[in-house]
Amino acid sequence: MCALLFGYMYYTQPSPEQIEAMRRYNDSIARVNAEKTAAEAAEAIAADALTEAEALPKDSAQIALLDSLNNAKLLQTYGALAEAVQGTEQKIVLENDVLRLTLSTKGGQIEEAVLKKYDDYQGDTLVVFTAENNDLYYTLNTPKGSFNTDRFYFEPTQVSDTSVTMSLRSSDGAEFSFVYALPAPDSYLVNYSIVTRNIENMLNDRTVLMNWHQSLPRTELGRDFEGRYSQIYYKYSGQSTDDLSSGKRDDETLDGRMSWISFQNQFFSTMFITNDLFTAGRLTSEPVKEEEDPSVIKRYAAENLEFELDTRAATQTVPMCFYIGPKDYYKLRDMNDLAASFIGKQNEDLDLQDSFYLGWRFIVHYINSWVIIPLFHLMDKFIHSYGIIILLMTLFIKLVTLPMTYKSYKSTARMRIANQMPEVQALNEKYPNQEDAMQKQQELMALYNKMGVSPAGGCLPMLIQWPVLIALFYFFPTSIELRHEPFLWADDLSTYDAFLTWDTHVPIFGNHLSLFCLLMTAVNIFYTWLMQKQTPTNQSMPGMKWMMYLMPLMFLFFLNNYSAGLSYYYFLSTLFGILITYGIRWSMNEDKILAEMKQNLKNPKKSKAGKKTSGWVARLQEIQKEQERQMKKQREEQQRKLRR
């Protein structure tokens, strides 16, 4: 236990890179706090002088004195940036066919983003964020202290419908500017650059910190479900994507070059893309309870993201990008080359399409990205009803897996027939007692081997199909194509289809009953009954029969809040499974199977099935024999102790 404990402590201890990143993070916080305290002290001294002057009579001389003192205060506090502290806030709107951005000259950043082609759950145009719930600024270390860029007024220049330059100018001729441009009419990509000129005297330190906070607004009907699929994703250069926990407060100290960071809800994302710019920082994700704020899902933060500027360069451009748009697999994939080209990273795939979860990597993820998504989009080109697309996809998957289903059913049928044969019944009569169960099992396995029956034959083909079922479990809730798409009685296939509601909120279940989920449960219960009719009953475990009926009821409880599209798929999948089962049963000649098994008993060496399973059965029999020897030895020891 000690070895395991110390081994775990050694394995989980921070790497030297992580320790250095944390040290730099703490140093930057301490430096900012110290400089902030000094700046606040200077402001307090100047404010006292200004307060005294304001108490004097307000004639023209006093007004001039007030202005002079105010300017002196600003000059004392902000130095060459004093003029940029005063101004009038202006709004600049950039717009293309799909995206509308509102920028403020106070801070020079995007304060509102609207997706023109999408609505929220209340039918209003979808607002990704506003000035009240989004804040992005940079901390500059100047000769007078550390100041955040959201204190200053930026001057807009080169303004057009799709581009603008926001410039922070100092009195000594230095410039710190943000350049925005919408590169295409139908693009959700925003080209964004920091451009500096002659900043050697503006900045004391080449290190700049970026802070980004966002309170994620609710946009979907199912609030709990939206929160489950709202996460921060991020990617280190040359590595696969990672994410913060979606169900609880989580944070991550960054210790490498960052390619991008994505703040996202269930269907939409605000992504900050760089050329491995940030070297340190911290990410935080915190769920917000409905009783605390029903309009907010989560609070995200990317704090003290550290990068460096070349303060000696006469001019410098740091290219970056925003992606503000839907979590659409193909849209994000198509943005890779455009974003990489703008930020100067053409030789590396940014993997923007991996910024949301499609299931376990190497299995489920690739089933979704290589099979399910291409098939879905292919059908989407020709069929306009997503309910019909889901039906055809389900039918296609069932046809592809039909050979495995047939093999599973046939193996189950062989087991059922075998258990009805006199040879098996004779074994049951020969070993009626529980203490003879091991011997009975050994002889039963040997008999199955002679008959050509594989006990695992009915399970393995079905297990192979599980990755497909799980892939679709992750695909439907994240498929933005289903969002606000109606089918039959469901108004929106991306959320629950409530046909019965009540006031009291039941934990996990909610305050409604989804009709597709109810139909799925009913069909699953019938399918369970059908399969139990053809599956041999294990007399030693009678409780398993009722456990099989309990599973569909559990699905009703847990999937009631999930998307109607997912429940509809499971309903169709089970319904097709029932039809296929009846079809296979109708086509299968059980008398022929019985005759084949009897022939195998007479000539076991000619049994192909026996050849395939003999090695496995032999190993199982050897294990059982060893267990029986151990049990017999224990009984003998106990009897000897009793005699003593």
pLDDT, residue 61, reads: 46
Q: Which residue has the tokens 């979808």?
A: 126
Strands 110-119 and 99-104, by their bridges, are: antiparallel
User: Percent of the chain at pLDDT above 90?
Assistant: 29
CA–CA separation, 18 and 563 (whole Å): 40
Does residue 442 have a pLDDT over 60? yes
* More confident: 35 or 363: 363
Q: Which residue has the higher pLDDT, 616 or 242?
A: 242
Question: What pLDDT score does 611 carry?
Answer: 46
Q: For residue 297, is pLDDT > 70?
A: yes
CATH 2.70.98.90 is the classification of domain 84-357? yes
pLDDT beyond 90 at 32: no
Average pLDDT, the chain: 80
Alpha carbons 444 and 431: distance in angstroms, whole number: 11
Q: Identify which of 209, 208, 191, 327 has the alpha carbon closest to the alpha carbon of residue 263.
A: 327
617-636 average pLDDT score: 62
pLDDT at 232: 92
Determine the average pLDDT of the residues in 90-112: 94
d(CA 431, CA 426): 9
Written as one letter, the residue type at 173 is: G
pLDDT tops 70 at residue 1: no
pLDDT of residue 239: 85
Query: In 54-162, which ranges are E strands?
Result: 91-95, 99-104, 110-119, 125-129, 134-142, 145-148, 155-157
With a pLDDT cut of 70, the percent of the chain lying above it is 76
Asked if residue 561 lies in contact with residue 501, where contact means CB atoms within 8 angstroms, the answer is no
Which has more pLDDT, 439 or 149?
149
When pLDDT is cut at 50, 70 and 90, the band that residue 364 belongs to is confident
What are the tens digits of pLDDT across the range 444-462? 777 777 777 766 655 655 6
Structure confidence at residue 209 (pLDDT): 93
* Structure tokens, 565: 């599209």
Q: Residues 70, 76, 81, CA angle at the centre, nearest 5°?
A: 90
Task: Report the C-alpha gap between 115 and 104 in whole angstroms.
Answer: 18
Mapped onto helix, strand or coil, the DSSP state of residue 295 is: coil
The neighbouring-strand residues paired with 251 are 284
Which of 496, 160, 115 is CA-nearest to residue 331? Answer: 115
The mean pLDDT of 3-30, rounded to a whole number, is 55
Weakest-pLDDT range from 66-70, 249-253, 284-288, 397-401: 66-70
Task: State the pLDDT at residue 44.
Answer: 58
pLDDT at 5: 47
> 119 near 126, Cβ under 8 Å?
yes
**Domain spans of the chain, in order of start:** 17-82, 84-357, 367-495+516-529+563-602
**How do strand 91-95 and strand 163-169 relate by DSSP bridges?**
unpaired
Q: What is the pLDDT of residue 145?
A: 85
pLDDT class for 391, splitting at 50, 70, 90? very high
The pLDDT score that the predictor gives to residue 298 is 93
Mean pLDDT of 404-430: 74
Mean pLDDT of 314-318: 92
Q: Which pLDDT belongs to residue 307?
A: 92
pLDDT at 581 over 90: no
Task: Tell me the per-residue pLDDT of 138-185, one tens digit each, with 9 for 90 and over.
Answer: 999 988 888 999 999 999 999 999 999 999 998 888 999 999 999 989
Which segment of 256-270, 499-513, 604-618 scores lowest on mean pLDDT? 604-618
Give strand ranges (E) for 507-583.
Answer: 510-514
